[in-house]
């Protein structure tokens, strides 16, 4: 039975990122699941119990969209993932998938990914990277859809004064003592608790600490090689921008990490605009520092990458909501 | 922190919102999904407009400081009243004897012969320090109506005063302008007192014909370093769903997806565990919904103040 699982796994996209030993390990944790035509594989709104990969057959993906009812999204075939977003955020499934014919799936439970992250962080990183590449390509496509909608609808563009303020407002470097925190305070926070003491100290050694007034832009759409930021206090607004018209994506508050999509899709410049919506204190890691961390401190990089992945799943879901809203509301008209 | 529910649309018996769904409004008093650390046990209130009732411009008003899940009168009324517009509020306050639980503090607030009612989810930091400065912005006829100890009632009085000055032809735009002006006034007084900590202001305002709601926080992301965990440090949630009619369809409570968008619910959190047919309103937003030719319109605007 294990040989069958190994063979099937090797023929999936996982086979490209895991070595033979890692495939054998995965085979011990996965299950093979058979579905008859019409049988649900995952159901929208239900708690996640992991992801699936189609090995034989095909499945129909649908979603309930506000204002549009049940909508067909895609026909999934051999090698396609099902429910992979939930591996990153562990929220309920966002779509329903039903077998279109007799279908065989590999089921990778959440526990497998937990085990992998804890015991084989490098392998876990490769798998998450693969999932996120898939999600970010979909996000790029979605971004394109939203830009098309924004071109057609009547959104009031930003004023000249608004533009000027954003250009004029710049962050400034401050001392750690000006943040109001102690290192002990920060170490105890959930966000930093995943880092070892050494990694935590390294983060603060490598970071610039900056204070940003309200309406200060950190990353503009089209930027390449932009930095990575961790918000300590205050908040940052992400937006999609088309011809000086802004459509809000989401707000990131304290203990959030953000960066451009370049960290997930290397040749893709930033797709969103990131600006403070409150005055804020942040840790800033330049692009060069992030490359250094990636090369020299891989375990630290994997942990930062897990936060990058979570942030981009938030963006992905926010973009879905934005598309629905732009079709239902008179927005900033 | 509180839970709020508003509805505009085809008549629906109130129990469909308050009791029946798996995340019903009454259930949110003791088991809110989108709020940690606090239960909503400091009072329940609602205002409801029913076009088929005697003097339909005047809403039903029900308020109690009793625990709503034990309230037989509420259960009975809910099974009978079928409003086309509803605003209901569950009050949540910290477990502290400095907080006054009384009928005067139960939302929604609706002064005398005013058309508009208001409910608030959130709290203004250092309100006691600032409150008398708000008097400058409140007309005397509204100031004398304030009976309770909440910041919410004062926000209501400021809103009504600003609304009285608004001069657009459209009531929708007057309400939007009055809300923005209210927030600007609060911001100005906060600045005068150097109040810099997060203060959520999710307002729900209705007159039976429109609903306006804000999802807004002053100084989000800033809290005293020695503060204990509080629900007010999170960005309070706000959701909506719309469709033809809210009810039990295909084994679940949801908005029926018909030809016409004729009903909308705007609420602190969805009424169902399954949130797939609800949309979360973005942060720093004002949403206003009204009917035009029997179809629900939704205007949303970013709040920049």
Instruction: Please report which confidence band the pLDDT of residue B181 belongs to, taking 50, 70 and 90 as the band edges.
Output: very high
For an interface test with A, give the residue of B221, B229, B253, B276 to mutate (most A CBs within 10 A): B221
Do B283 and A251 lie within an 8 Å CB cutoff? yes
Instruction: Please report which confidence band the pLDDT of residue A286 belongs to, taking 50, 70 and 90 as the band edges.
Output: very high
What pLDDT sits at residue A232? 96
Report helix, strand or coil for A272.
coil
With a CB cutoff of 8 Å and minimum separation 6, the contacts of A12 are A53, A55, A79, A106
Do A329 and B299 lie within an 8 Å CB cutoff? yes
What pLDDT sits at residue B11? 96
- For B113-175, the three-class secondary structure string (H helix, E strand, C coil) is CCCCEEEEEECCCCHHHHHHHHHHHCCHHHHCCCCCCCHHHHHHHHHHHHHHHCCCCCHHHHH
Do A321 and B279 lie within an 8 Å CB cutoff? yes
The Cβ of residue B282 has, within 10 Å, a number of other Cβ atoms equal to 23
Closest residue in A to B298 (Cα) is A329
* Cβ contact B44:B88 at 8 Å: yes
What pLDDT sits at residue B234? 81
Q: Biggest alpha carbon distance in chain B?
A: 55
Residues of A in contact with B301 (CB under 8 A): 331-332
Instruction: Please report which confidence band the pLDDT of residue B232 belongs to, taking 50, 70 and 90 as the band edges.
Output: low
Q: Does B230 have pLDDT greater than 70?
A: no
Residues of B in contact with A67 (CB under 8 A): 242-243, 257, 261
The whole-angstrom distance between B2's CA and the closest CA on chain A is: 21
A22-26, A316-320, B93-97: which range is least confident on average? Answer: B93-97
Average the pLDDT over A303-309 and give the result: 97
Instruction: List Cα–Cα distances, A227 to A250, A260, A294, in angstroms.
Output: 19, 8, 13
A87 cis-preceded (ω within 30 degrees of 0): no
As a whole-number percent, the residues of chain A with pLDDT over 90 amount to 81
Q: Does A73 have pLDDT greater than 90?
A: no
- Please check whether residue B69 touches A, CB under 8 A: no
Q: Give the model confidence (pLDDT) of A138-193 as tens digits.
A: 999 999 999 999 998 888 777 777 766 767 789 999 999 999 999 998 998 999 99
Q: Give the model confidence (pLDDT) of B83-92 as tens digits.
A: 999 999 999 8
Instruction: Please report which confidence band the pLDDT of residue B233 belongs to, taking 50, 70 and 90 as the band edges.
Output: confident
Do B222 and A325 lie within an 8 Å CB cutoff? no
Which ipTM was obtained for this model?
A: 0.90
CA distance B106 to B119: 9
Residues of A in contact with B297 (CB under 8 A): 330
Which residues are bridge partners to A217 per DSSP? A275
- Please check whether residue B299 touches A, CB under 8 A: yes
Query: Closest Cα partner for B258 from B278, B243, B242?
Result: B243
What pLDDT sits at residue B168? 86
What pLDDT sits at residue B37? 65
Which residue of B225, B235, B275 is in closest CB contact with A185? B225
Do B242 and A67 lie within an 8 Å CB cutoff? yes
Tokens, residue A209: 């600490």
What pLDDT sits at residue B19? 96
Q: Give the model confidence (pLDDT) of B130-147 as tens digits.
A: 999 999 999 999 999 999
Q: Does B227 have pLDDT greater than 70?
A: no
C-alpha dihedral sign at B173, B179, B182, B183: negative
Under DSSP, the state recorded for B26 is T
Instruction: List Cα–Cα distances, A57 to A63, A78, A108, A171, B24, in angstroms.
Output: 20, 7, 18, 54, 40
* Cβ contact A312:A260 at 8 Å: no
CA distance B158 to A277: 25
CA distance B135 to B50: 34
- Please check whether residue B220 touches A, CB under 8 A: yes
For an interface test with A, give the residue of B172, B210, B245, B276 to mutate (most A CBs within 10 A): B276
A140-154, B29-43, B61-75, B235-249: which range is least confident on average? Answer: B29-43
Average the pLDDT over B228-247 and give the result: 84
Instruction: Please report which confidence band the pLDDT of residue B231 belongs to, taking 50, 70 and 90 as the band edges.
Output: low
With a CB cutoff of 8 Å and minimum separation 6, the contacts of A119 are none
- For B52-110, the three-class secondary structure string (H helix, E strand, C coil) is CCCCCCCCEEEEECCCHHHCHHHHHHHCCCCCCEEEEEECCCCCCCCCCCCHHHCCCEC
Residues of B in contact with A277 (CB under 8 A): 220, 283-284
User: What DSSP string runs through A274-310?
Assistant: EEESS-EEEEEE-HHHHHHHHHH-HHHHHHHHHHHHH
The Cβ of residue A153 has, within 10 Å, a number of other Cβ atoms equal to 15
What pLDDT sits at residue B24? 95
Residues B10/B12/B17/B22 CA torsion (nearest 10 deg):
-100
Residues of A in contact with B241 (CB under 8 A): 66
The whole-angstrom distance between A64's CA and the closest CA on chain B is: 6
Residue A235 φ/ψ, nearest 5 degrees: -155, 155
Instruction: Please report which confidence band the pLDDT of residue B60 belongs to, taking 50, 70 and 90 as the band edges.
Output: very high
What pLDDT sits at residue B36? 66
For an interface test with B, give the residue of A250, A255, A278 to mutate (most B CBs within 10 A): A278
The Cβ of residue B73 has, within 10 Å, a number of other Cβ atoms equal to 10
* Cβ contact B49:B208 at 8 Å: yes
> Across all residues in chain A, what is the average pLDDT?
92
Q: Does A294 have pLDDT greater than 70?
A: yes
What pLDDT sits at residue B180? 97
Q: Give the model confidence (pLDDT) of B145-154 as tens digits.
A: 999 999 999 9
Instruction: Please report which confidence band the pLDDT of residue B1 belongs to, taking 50, 70 and 90 as the band edges.
Output: confident
Which residues are bridge partners to A107 per DSSP? A31, A52
Q: Does B38 have pLDDT greater than 80?
A: no
User: In the sheet that A96-99 helps form, which strands lie side by side, from edge to edge?
Assistant: A40-42, A96-99, A59-65, A69-76
CA distance A143 to A141: 5
What pLDDT sits at residue B250? 83
> Across all residues in chain B, what is the average pLDDT?
93
Q: Does A242 have pLDDT greater than 90?
A: no
């Amino acid at each position: 039975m294990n040989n069958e699982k190994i063979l099937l796994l090797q023929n999936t996209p996982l086979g490209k990122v895991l070595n033979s030993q890692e495939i054998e390990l995965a085979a011990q944790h996965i299950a093979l699941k058979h579905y008859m035509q019409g049988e649900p594989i995952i159901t929208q709104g239900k708690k996640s119990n992991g992801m699936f990969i189609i090995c034989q057959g095909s499945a129909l993906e649908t979603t309930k969209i506000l204002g549009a009812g049940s909508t067909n999204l895609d026909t999934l075939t051999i090698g396609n993932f099902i429910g992979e977003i939930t591996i990153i955020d562990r929220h309920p499934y966002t779509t329903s998938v039903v077998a279109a014919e007799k279908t065989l799936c590999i089921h990778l439970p959440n526990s497998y990914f937990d085990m992998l992250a804890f015991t084989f962080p490098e392998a876990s990183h490769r798998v998450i990277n693969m999932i996120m590449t898939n999600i970010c390509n979909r996000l790029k496509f979605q971004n394109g859809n939203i830009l098309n909608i924004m071109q057609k609808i009547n959104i009031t563009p930003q004023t000249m004064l608004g533009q000027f303020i954003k250009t004029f407002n710049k962050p400034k470097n401050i001392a750690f003592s000006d943040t109001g925190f102690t290192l002990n305070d920060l170490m105890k926070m959930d966000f930093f608790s995943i880092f070892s003491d050494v990694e935590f100290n390294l983060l603060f050694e490598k970071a610039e600490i900056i204070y940003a007034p309200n309406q200060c832009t950190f990353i503009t759409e089209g930027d390449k090689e932009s930095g990575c930021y961790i918000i300590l206090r205050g908040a940052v607004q992400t937006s999609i921008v088309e011809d000086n018209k802004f459509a809000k994506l989401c707000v990131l508050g304290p203990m959030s990490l953000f960066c451009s999509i370049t960290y997930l899709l290397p040749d893709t410049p930033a797709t969103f605009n990131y600006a403070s919506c409150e005055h804020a204190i942040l840790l800033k890691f330049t692009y060069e520092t992030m490359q250094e961390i990636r090369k020299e401190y891989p375990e630290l990089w994997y942990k930062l990458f897990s936060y990058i992945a979570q942030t981009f799943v938030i963006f992905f879901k926010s973009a879905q909501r934005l598309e629905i809203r732009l079709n239902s509301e008179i927005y900033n008209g | 922190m509180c839970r709020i529910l508003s509805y505009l649309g085809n008549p629906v018996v109130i129990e469909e919102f308050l009791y029946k769904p798996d995340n019903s409004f009454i259930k949110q008093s003791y088991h809110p999904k989108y709020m940690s650390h606090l239960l909503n046990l400091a009072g329940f209130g609602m205002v409801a407009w029913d076009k088929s009732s005697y003097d339909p411009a005047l809403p039903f008003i029900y308020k109690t400081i009793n625990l709503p899940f034990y309230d037989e009168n509420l259960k009975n009324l809910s099974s009978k009243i079928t409003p086309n517009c509803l605003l209901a509020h569950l009050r949540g306050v910290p477990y502290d004897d400095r907080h006054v639980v009384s009928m005067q503090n139960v939302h929604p607030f609706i002064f005398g012969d005013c058309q508009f009612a208001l409910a608030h989810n959130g709290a203004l930091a250092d309100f006691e320090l600032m409150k008398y400065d708000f008097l400058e912005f409140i007309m005397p006829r509204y100031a004398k109506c304030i009976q309770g100890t909440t910041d919410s009632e004062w926000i209501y009085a400021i809103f009504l005063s600003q609304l009285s000055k608004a001069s657009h032809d459209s009531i929708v735009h007057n309400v939007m302008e009055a809300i923005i002006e209210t927030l600007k006034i609060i911001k100005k007084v906060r600045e005068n007192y150097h109040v810099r900590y997060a203060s959520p202001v999710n307002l729900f305002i209705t007159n039976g014909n429109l609903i306006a709601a804000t999802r807004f926080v002053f100084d989000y992301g800033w809290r005293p370093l020695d503060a204990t965990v509080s629900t007010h440090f999170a960005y309070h949630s706000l959701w909506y769903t719309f469709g033809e009619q809210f009810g039990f369809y295909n084994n679940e409570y949801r908005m029926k997806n018909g030809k016409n968008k004729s009903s909308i619910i705007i609420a602190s959190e969805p009424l169902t565990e399954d949130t797939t047919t609800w949309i979360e309103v973005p942060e720093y937003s004002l949403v206003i919904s009204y009917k035009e030719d029997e179809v629900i319109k939704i205007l949303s605007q970013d709040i920049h103040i």
